[in-house]
Amino acid sequence: MEPLHSLVYVSAAVDSFSDDALQELLTRARRKNAQLDVTGLLLYADGNFMQCLEGPQATVGRLFEEICRDPRHHRVITLVDEPVAQREFGDWAMAYRRVDLPQWLRIAAASAPDRAGSNQPSAVREILIDFWRTCSR
Ligand SMILES: Cc1cc2nc3c(=O)[nH]c(=O)nc-3n(C[C@H](O)[C@H](O)[C@H](O)COP(=O)(O)O)c2cc1C
């Protein structure tokens, strides 16, 4: 079996997304992720995305390349790109939350590359996992 991989990035929407536009993006993404055996989490706050993708290494790499080319967002910055032992969002073809700006700032500040450091990319994953556990209770 191909090794499991996890990738987390942040990006900025080119134009801010309406609820309808986000729903459409999610519906397509969930359908495709289910086919690809990819799971994860997408957060959206006021024009900012943070996404975690997890799945077979090569598949995640190819999907991320495609996502990077998507003209609806730009300024993509990878925060985590590493093998993992298990999925954290295994129940979700793509879990989704719209978050408010204070929440976003907390998550983004805690996940900033200079804080997480190259030796601790999994800290970013832990922040997302904690956030998801708290907000889905
Ligand atoms: C912030 C963001 C996150 C996305 N996440 C996913 C995703 O998880 N899975 C996916 O298939 N497409 C995702 N997309 C859409 C892809 O960039 C691309 O449009 C899609 O894979 C093309 O699907 P298609 O092969 O059905 O045309 C995302 C796009 C954006 C802007």
Q: Which residue among 70, 79, 89 is best mutated to probe the pocket of ligand 1, counting the most ligand atoms within 8 A of its Cβ?
A: 70
Atom of ligand 1 nearest to the CA of 28: 26
- Which pTM does this prediction carry? 0.91
Residues 22 and 42: beta-carbon distance below 8 Å: no
Q: Which of 103, 94, 113 is nearest to 134 (CA)?
A: 103
What is the extent of the structural domain holding 61?
4-135
pLDDT digits (tens, 9 = 90+) for 77-135: 998 999 999 999 999 999 999 999 888 888 887 777 665 555 466 778 888 888 888 87
Q: How far is the CA of 29 from the centre of ligand 1 (A)?
A: 5
What's the CATH code of the domain at 98? 3.30.70.100
Overall number of domains in the chain? 1
Q: How far is the CA of 20 from the centre of ligand 1 (A)?
A: 15
